[in-house]
Amino acid sequence: MAGRPVDALVISLLLLSLIIGLLRSVNAGRSLEGSSGPLQYNFYKSSCPSAESIVRQVVGNAVANEARMAGSLLRLHFHDCFVQGCDGSLLLKSIPGVLEGEQEALPNINSVRGFDVVDDIKAALEKECPGVVSCADILAMAARDSVVVSGGPSYRVLLGRRDSLTASRSLANQFLPGFNFNVSDLIANFANVGLSARDMVVLSGGHTIGKANCNTFAARLTPNVEDPTALEPAYRESLVPQCPAGSNAAFVNLDIASPTLFDNGYYSNLLRTRGLLHSDQVLYSTAGTTRNQVARYAKSQAAFFSDFTAAIIKMGNIAPLTGSTQGEVRTQCGFVNSS
């Protein structure tokens, strides 16, 4: 009987220890919240707390001045991540005899744009917190803000990327998806960078904003009743006068219904064979899981938004350079610091 109070005290101490341990675990979990590999949320919380607001303001002004810029900035992030990972290599300018930039690769030449906006963002950030925010992170934040300002979903951006010291035109030619790809080509292309077929279909929905050059769909302007991906006749006829023969300077909205609004209209267009690019229309015109996924997003914008945010965060985590020994933080996005 005399030992019972001691037993009770031991039990109480054990329970208290357990509670403290649980609380510590919860707090530890909170401190790691949002981490994805080496990237982190709020990476610039101490070193440049106004970084995200600066990017948001410059992007907002640029899109207000030209709605097409939203699609262009989103595409920059996409085309950067597919070559060497999300490292800002796309932004490096070619230097004869030194560096063959990715901007002149076939999928990019006379196509990727928005570099002036990226430079404006970088200049504003360098003024606020010199040498802190990487160009690769600028692309990730600008892509998110372009989606949001166009009416799409907001999401938290993982940050902490460093900028590469090199670029690769040959890899850009090899790994960037083509406008004439079939479903099997697209699936293999996305698999090369660790993205699934599901990721591919939802990230293709980024074509709900932006424009395409006429030469990317010129072959689709000729009627072909045997082709299941052929454009709906009335839509095709409306495109012909927008693309004068031999003109490579004309651009057409990727989404005929709501070209400046980030919504699920892209998928609704595919159900009516109004996918401007062959690589868009095959997602629905080819039997299989991609067709079912397109139908799902056409029916539910909420499903599209939810899956898109997960996929673009995943894409933004492709092989980033991180830590003090990998890459650098460029002072100018178009050139490595040593030059």
Catalytic residue annotation: 79
Both tokens assigned to 91: 């932004």
Sole residue written with tokens 């410059």: 58
Helix (H) or strand (E) holding 252: strand 251-253
Cβ neighbours, 10 Å, residue 224: 12
* Whole-angstrom distance, CA of residue 88 vs CA of residue 98: 18
Query: To 5 degrees, how large is the angle CA 134–CA 136–CA 142?
Result: 100
120: tokens are: 């404006």
Q: Residues annotated in the binding site for Ca(2+), as ranges?
A: 80, 83, 85, 87, 89, 102, 208, 255, 263
Q: What is the DSSP letter of 62?
A: H
CA 323 to CA 30: how far, in whole Å?
22
Q: Which residues are annotated as a binding site?
A: 80, 83, 85, 87, 89, 102, 177, 207-208, 255, 263
Token output for 68 = 């097409």
Instruction: Specify binding-site residues for heme b.
Output: 207
Are the beta carbons of 339 and 173 closer than 8 angstroms? no
- H/E stretch holding 253 reads strand 251-253
User: Whole-angstrom Cα distance, residue 245 to residue 249?
Assistant: 11
Asked if residue 53 lies in contact with residue 111, where contact means CB atoms within 8 angstroms, the answer is: no
Alpha helices, DSSP H, located in 43-114: 51-65, 69-81
3-state secondary structure of 213: strand
